[in-house]
């Protein structure tokens, strides 16, 4: 007898067109369930059920059957729950969208066991009485603010990860850079990989991974001393926006790694830098818009996070130039 507790099941009624098909094919077609998740469900006592009876992926279905997927509830027992003020943009039984402030790491790592977004989210779920494992769909750099999507079940994580891989998740950023690109809108299609001389830096290199960043100028300040850009990512490499903007000759304001004051500097900072950098404790980058299709409701959802206070202050100063 199992003591497992399950999330609310995913259910489908077998249609005539699926009569006689094996369970695996139906689940792949109707719900887009991955082979990895199916393998996991096979090993779960009540993972796959037809009309209340346990079945396996090679069993066959009949028209009118009620097919259920049941996933065991999990918790992030390795993450210490920690009270934290969270800016929750959206939450339902399947997913959580949080507006992350700058200076917060998304997930505990060596040297960051507490004070991360994960610590605060796990505490939030504990307070709600929910047993949920922390599963971010994507991550933001510690000093980047903005929207982070977190799945609450393995199925939601798999579905949104598939959308991300297929380019169906629309991620848009606001950033402020030195100078101004030569074109008002364009695409940087340059491969990125680790810097062989400094592994924690990334560089544009012919042998790197495909990396595509679309940009559009929103505002230009002080005779092109600085520019506000809207960014859309087509790929999601580490530090991609920061590396591509540096490659354009327009590093992000406040960027300690790729800006004029950073380890990757290759030019003297313009005179305007001292006054602007003093306003920032981090790179001027904000994940402003996140759009995807909800795996359960199939509704296209779009979330937006306003600029945080430090970037609003920066923009006010830029307008004075």
Please state the φ and ψ torsions of residue 124, each to the nearest 5 degrees: -55, -45
Contact 248, 136 (CB under 8 A): no
With a CB cutoff of 8 Å and minimum separation 6, the contacts of 242 are 251, 252, 255, 257, 258, 283, 285
User: Is 141 assigned a catalytic role?
Assistant: yes
| Integer CA distances (angstroms), 221 to 185, 228, 281, 302, in order | 16, 8, 21, 29
Q: In the beta sheet, which residues pair with residue 95? A: 151
| Integer CA distances (angstroms), 93 to 32, 96, 152, 303, 317, in order | 19, 8, 7, 17, 42
Strands (DSSP E) found in the chain = 10-13, 48-50, 53-54, 66-69, 88-91, 95-100, 135-136, 145-151, 170-178, 185-189, 192-195, 198-204, 212-221, 226-233, 285-293, 300-304
Catalytic residue among 18, 65, 94, 141: 141
Q: Going by DSSP bridges, is the β-strand pair 212-221/300-304 parallel, antiparallel, or unpaired? A: unpaired
100: DSSP letter: E
Quickly list DSSP for 172-209: EEEEEEES--SSSEEEEE--EEEETTEEEEEEE-TTSB
**Catalytic residue IDs:** 141
């Amino acid at each position: 007898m199992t003591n497992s507790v399950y999330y609310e099941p995913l259910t489908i009624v077998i249609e005539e067109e699926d009569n006689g098909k094996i369970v695996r094919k139906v689940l792949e077609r109707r719900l887009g369930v991955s082979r990895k998740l199916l393998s996991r469900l096979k090993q779960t006592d009540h993972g796959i059920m037809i009309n209340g009876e346990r079945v396996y992926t090679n069993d066959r279905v009949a028209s009118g059957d009620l097919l259920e997927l049941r996933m065991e509830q999990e918790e992030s027992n390795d993450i210490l729950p920690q009270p934290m003020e969270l800016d929750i943009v959206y939450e339902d039984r399947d997913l959580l969208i949080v507006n992350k402030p700058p200076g917060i790491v998304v997930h505990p790592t060596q040297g960051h066991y507490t004070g991360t977004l994960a610590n605060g989210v796990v505490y939030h779920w504990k307070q709600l009485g929910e047993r949920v494992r922390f599963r971010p769909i994507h991550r933001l750099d510690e000093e980047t603010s903005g929207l982070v999507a977190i799945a609450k079940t393995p199925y939601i994580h798999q579905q949104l990860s598939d959308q991300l891989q297929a380019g169906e998740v629309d991620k848009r950023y606001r950033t402020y850079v030195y100078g101004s690109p030569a074109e008002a809108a364009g695409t940087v299609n340059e491969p990125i990989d680790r810097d062989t001389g400094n592994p924690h830096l990334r560089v544009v290199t012919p042998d790197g991974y495909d990396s595509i960043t679309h940009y559009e100028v929103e505002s230009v300040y002080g005779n092109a001393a600085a520019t506000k850009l809207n960014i859309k990512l087509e790929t999601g490499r580490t530090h991609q926006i920061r590396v591509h903007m540096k490659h354009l000759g327009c590093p992000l304001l406040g960027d300690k790694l790729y800006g004029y004051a950073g380890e990757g500097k290759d030019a003297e900072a313009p005179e305007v830098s001292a006054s602007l950098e003093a306003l920032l404790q981090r790179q001027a980058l904000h994940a402003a818009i996140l759009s995807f299709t909800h795996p359960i409701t199939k509704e296209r959802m779009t979330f937006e996070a306003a600029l945080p206070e430090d970037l609003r202050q920066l923009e006010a100063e830029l307008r004075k130039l």
